[in-house]
């Protein structure tokens, strides 16, 4: 298994996320219920990406993350007619560029919903969610108001990119799980019983 990864950071990122140099991850070759970890090494490289802000070198067609820094940026992207066309074109490029596209919005829900500069934040958020649903693009909300949180956001993005690279590409049959002892597994719930 690969143990060294390079996170590509788009050259236009003005304040790049802090990606950790080392990160423990769940060992993909072991039964998840055994909780066996291994440590991977991460480095970053500034690189002009055609779309998105973060990718994993060698896995650019698997997962890309487009970072949006605030509800003000989303409001401009979604509710301003000129910017909306440009934003939609960028979302379409993101969707076509990889299997698992994500938009990451930085900020806490409290900050976003109480920002006096965006009195109708719900219109921006509804518009964003509809655009993402139409394109099957994931949304991640991560608070980022301090150096500790910024470091954790960087780790979260790195985890997303690495786990996408380690996951089977669907719609192919998912790889078999490593052998597990059934006594360690949680009971399975019938999905029809949840209705």
- Read off the pLDDT band of 195 (50, 70, 90): very low
For the chain, percent of residues with pLDDT exceeding 70: 87
Q: How far apart are CA 116 and CA 119, in angstroms?
A: 6
Mean pLDDT of 107-123: 85
Write out the two tokens for 20.
Answer: 């950790």
| Res 23 pLDDT > 80 | yes
| Res 184 pLDDT > 60 | no
Amino acid 171: pLDDT: 58
Amino acid 187: pLDDT: 42
Per-residue pLDDT tens for 55-74?
999 999 999 999 998 889 99
- Read off the pLDDT band of 174 (50, 70, 90): low
Full set of structural domains in the chain with CATH? 4-167 (3.40.50.10130)
Amino acid 106: pLDDT: 87
Amino acid 172: pLDDT: 55
CA–CA distances in Å: residue 144 to residues 18, 107, 153: 11, 5, 7
Amino acid 173: pLDDT: 58
């Amino acid at each position: 298994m690969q143990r060294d990864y390079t996170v590509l950071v788009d050259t236009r990122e003005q304040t790049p996320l802090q990606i950790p140099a080392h990160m423990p991850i769940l060992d993909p070759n072991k039964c998840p219920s055994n909780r066996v970890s291994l440590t991977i090494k991460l480095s970053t490289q500034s690189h002009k990406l055609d779309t998105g802000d973060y990718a994993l070198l060698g896995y650019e067609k698997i997962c890309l993350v487009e970072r949006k820094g605030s509800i003000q940026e989303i409001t401009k992207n979604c509710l301003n007619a000129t910017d909306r066309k440009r934003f939609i074109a960028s979302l379409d490029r993101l969707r076509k560029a990889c299997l698992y596209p994500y938009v990451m919005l930085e900020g806490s829900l409290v900050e976003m919903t109480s920002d006096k500069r965006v009195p109708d934040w719900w219109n921006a958020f509804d518009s964003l969610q509809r655009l993402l649903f139409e394109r099957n693009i994931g949304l991640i909300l991560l608070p980022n108001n301090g150096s500790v949180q910024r470091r954790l956001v960087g780790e979260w993005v790195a985890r997303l990119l690495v786990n996408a690279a380690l996951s089977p590409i669907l719609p192919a049959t998912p790889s078999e799980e490593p052998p597990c002892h059934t006594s360690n597994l949680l009971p399975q719930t019938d999905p029809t019983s949840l209705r």
